[in-house]
Chains A and B, each alone.
Chain A
Amino acid sequence: DTAVSQTPKYLVTQMGNDKSIKCEQNLGHDTMYWYKQDSKKFLKIMFSYNNKELIINETVPNRFSPKSPDKAHLNLHINSLELGDSAVYFCASSPRTSTDTQYFGPGTRLTVL
């Protein structure tokens, strides 16, 4: 009964490659998020989608492109991977856009060599 799931759990790839991380939530939530947690464990929001529409787009390089095919899915595609992209990426969801508790996925550890 996984609420928010992400695939893959680990991703090791070479610089310059393009990769995607998938996220699905079965909670019926309207809003989904992508966060990046760097090596210092600092967690920072990247994107937020509400009912498939982009709400928040932080100052993230345009090599990162989120895609929401439907309300239950928010995938993250990264082009031309760089060493600095190595981090743990978390997907989350919440019932509405604003002030509800967020439910986090288990994270995807991306390592760029």
Chain B
Amino acid sequence: KQEVTQIPAALSVPEGENLVLNCSFTDSAIYNLQWFRQDPGKGLTSLLLIQSSQREQTSGRLNASLDKSSGRSTLYIAASQPGDSATYLCAVWETSGSRLTFGEGTQLTVNP
């Protein structure tokens, strides 16, 4: 059974700092890995999707990497801003089961 773990569970940083969020998964048989953002009381917003054949994806100040063989992904946020404060969720699409399995998220607070 696929398990997705995110570390740390919570992170508080000053504005302007670069930061890394970590995600690990137990079964490397995946189609892709996705990073989402969830704001309090809101739904999820897709940030980046990395196909299993890819090593990284970039969007603005965000860069996500994928090492499928070791079951790890990182989300790098450059020059963090207070508006980046949210919960960041990692999810993998399994080749067996046809579903997204989510981690429990990292709650990020960027202080002005």
Instruction: Please state if A106 and B43 are interface contacts (CB–CB under 8 Å).
Output: yes
Q: How many residues of B contact A (CB 8 A)?
A: 23
With contact pairs A42-B102, A44-B102, A48-B98 given, residues A99 and B43 touching in the complex (Cβ less than 8 Å) = no
Contact A40 B104 (CB under 8 A): yes
Indicate if the CB atoms of A56 and B102 lie closer than 8 Å: no
Contacts A101-B34, A103-B46 known; A43 to B102 CB distance under 8 Å?
yes
On whether the beta carbons of B99 and A48 are closer than 8 Å, the reply is yes
Summed over the interface, the residue pairs from A and B with CB atoms below 8 Å come to a total of 50
The closest CB in chain A to the CB of B45 belongs to A104
Cα distance, A41 to B32, chains bound together (Å): 22
**Contact residue range for chain A?**
20 to 34
Find out whether the CB atom of B98 lies under 8 angstroms from the CB atom of A55. Answer: yes
State the Cβ distance, A108 to closest chain B Cβ, in Å: 10
In the bound complex, CA of A55 to CA of B44 (Å): 22
Interface: A39 (CB within 8 A): no
Would you call B42 and A107 a contact (CB within 8 A)?
A: yes
A45 within 8 A of B: yes
A62 is an interface residue with CB less than 8 A from chain B: no
Chain A: minimal CB distance from B45 (Å)? 7
A7 interfacial contact with B, CB 8 Å: no
Asked if B31 contacts A99 (CB within 8 A), the reply is: yes
CB 8 Å contact bits of B30-72 with A (1 = contact, 0 = none): 0110101000011111100101000000000000000000000
A residues near B (Cβ < 8 Å) are 4, 40-45, 48, 55-56, 58, 90, 92, 97-99, 101-107
